[in-house]
């Protein structure tokens, strides 16, 4: 905890919360009956949900004030992840829910109700959980444009049912609501597709990834053509054996093939001041033995043989790190870092070097720790990537 001077009202409230928590923790649960234990569990759940409502308001206020920018962080989610020691995905989810359930402000500073006021009110009562709330908010947000006039009625109906069912049961009901409002699935317009479009690439602990896109009709047509062309079965050129890959595996390989073709074509725009390049970092020993795992600039893991195989086919630069280093410095004669130095920075820092910033190398610019105009040298040790 930080040594802050709280307003008296807030200090009293926090002290009351701490005292109540200590009193509950001191209870002899073995002395309670089964009914009493269940009642205590229900009361504790209600309290947890009500505190979530306070958290929504706090996060919404942090976002409205731009506290993240004041601290030099890229987003409120990054601040929450660092300060609360929670994962980035969880932090981002809290920010999204706070935007829907927390209080808002007009440009004039006037306070406005939550975007989904009935959902926010039910959470504040402790009647529904954050999972209930997220389901309801997403259902209303995803309504076709032609059905947005029913949004208030849908919110009221789902909140009423959420008070009596668990989130899994509510999820079934939300699907029923969507089916009733758009039974034939024909009300989705191009504007709806544009509003819902997204792509998420999640890196998994083992270095693999999960791609989850929601494409517009135009993007779907483009990728259908690409995948159909590159994912056709290809017999073995030596033995004539049929292609044993499943259709899903062929589409995966087609996606990787399309990306490598794009890298080889050199058609991507520069990123961070250098041509778009995949950087992998390996040691001299790994290069000589062809064993072990190497890291990409985005923190992924691939084997040395895989890295060397694709390096021969695409614009992939192996950055070999030895004891002597070998990065050239340009003193005061050159202000901007050369491509080699930018690549070395990406290999060394793997993105923005500011504490808590998770921007990848391609989104960063190199800068002098000591400004060049004040005598800062354009040497690697005097540079740091900045988002």
Query: Quick one: pLDDT at residue 214?
Result: 85
How many Å apart are CA 79 and CA 386, to the nearest integer?
A: 17
Neighbours of 265 (CB within 10 A): 10
* Residue listed under structure tokens 């509003």: 195
300: left (phi over 0), alpha (psi -120 to 50) or beta: beta
pLDDT per residue as tens, the chain (387 positions): 455 677 888 888 888 888 888 888 888 889 989 999 999 999 999 999 999 999 999 999 999 888 988 888 888 999 999 999 998 889 999 999 999 999 888 777 788 889 999 999 999 999 999 999 999 998 998 887 777 788 899 999 999 999 999 999 999 899 888 878 776 655 566 667 777 788 888 877 777 888 888 888 778 878 888 888 888 888 887 788 888 888 889 899 999 888 888 877 767 665 554 444 566 666 667 767 777 777 666 566 777 777 776 655 445 455 555 544 443 333 333 445 556 666 667 767 767 777 667 677 666 666 666 665 455 665 665 445 555
b/e 220-245 (16+ beta carbons within 10 angstroms → b): eeebeebbeebbeeeeeeeeeeeeee
Phi, psi (rounded to 5 degrees) for 213: -100, 155
207 near 168, Cβ under 8 Å? no
Query: Quick one: pLDDT at residue 343?
Result: 66
Closest residue by Cα to residue 36 from 49, 23, 27: 27
Is the pTM for the entire model greater than 0.85? no
CA-CA distances (angstroms) from residue 154 to 110, 132, 140, 148, 246? Answer: 27, 14, 7, 9, 42
Query: Quick one: pLDDT at residue 328?
Result: 32
Query: Quick one: pLDDT at residue 38?
Result: 94
Query: Quick one: pLDDT at residue 73?
Result: 85
Phi, psi (rounded to 5 degrees) for 210: -125, 120
Query: Quick one: pLDDT at residue 101?
Result: 93
């Amino acid at each position: 905890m930080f040594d802050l001077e709280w307003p008296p009202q807030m200090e009293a409230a926090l002290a009351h919360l701490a005292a109540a928590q200590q009193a509950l923790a001191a209870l002899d649960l073995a002395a309670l009956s089964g009914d009493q234990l269940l009642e205590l569990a229900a009361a504790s759940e209600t309290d947890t949900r009500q505190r979530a409502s306070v958290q929504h308001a706090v996060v919404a206020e942090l976002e409205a004030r731009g506290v993240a920018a004041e601290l030099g962080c890229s987003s409120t989610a990054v601040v929450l992840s660092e300060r609360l020691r929670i994962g980035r995905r969880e932090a981002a989810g809290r920010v999204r829910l706070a935007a829907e359930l927390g209080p808002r402000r007009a440009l004039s500073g006037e306070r406005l109700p939550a975007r989904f006021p009935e959902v926010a009110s039910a959470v504040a009562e402790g009647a529904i959980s954050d999972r209930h709330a997220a389901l309801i908010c997403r259902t209303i947000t995803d309504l076709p444009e032609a059905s947005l006039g029913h949004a208030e009625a849908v919110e009221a109906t789902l909140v009423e049912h959420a008070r009596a069912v668990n989130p899994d049961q509510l999820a079934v009901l939300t699907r029923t609501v969507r089916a009733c409002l758009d039974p034939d699935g024909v009300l989705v317009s191009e504007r709806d597709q544009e509003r819902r479009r997204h792509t998420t690439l999640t890196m998994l602990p083992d270095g693999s990834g999960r791609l989850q896109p929601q494409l517009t009709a135009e993007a779907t047509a483009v990728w259908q053509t690409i995948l159909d062309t590159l994912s056709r079965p290809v017999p073995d050129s030596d033995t004539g054996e049929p292609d044993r890959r499943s259709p899903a595996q062929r589409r995966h390989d087609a996606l990787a093939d399309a990306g490598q073709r794009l890298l080889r074509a050199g058609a991507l725009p520069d990123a961070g001041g250098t041509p778009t390049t995949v950087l992998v970092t390996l040691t001299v020993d790994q290069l000589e033995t062809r064993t072990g795992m190497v890291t990409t600039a985005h923190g992924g893991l691939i084997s040395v043989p895989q890295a060397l195989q694709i390096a021969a086919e695409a614009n992939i630069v192996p950055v070999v790190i030895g004891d002597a280093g070998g990065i050239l410095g340009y003193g005061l004669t050159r202000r901007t870092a050369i491509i080699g130095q930018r690549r070395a920075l990406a290999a060394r820092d793997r993105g923005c070097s500011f504490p808590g910033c998770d921007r990848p190398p391609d989104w960063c610019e190199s800068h002098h720790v000591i400004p060049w105009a004040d005598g800062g040298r354009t040497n690697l040790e005097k540079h740091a990537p900045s988002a």
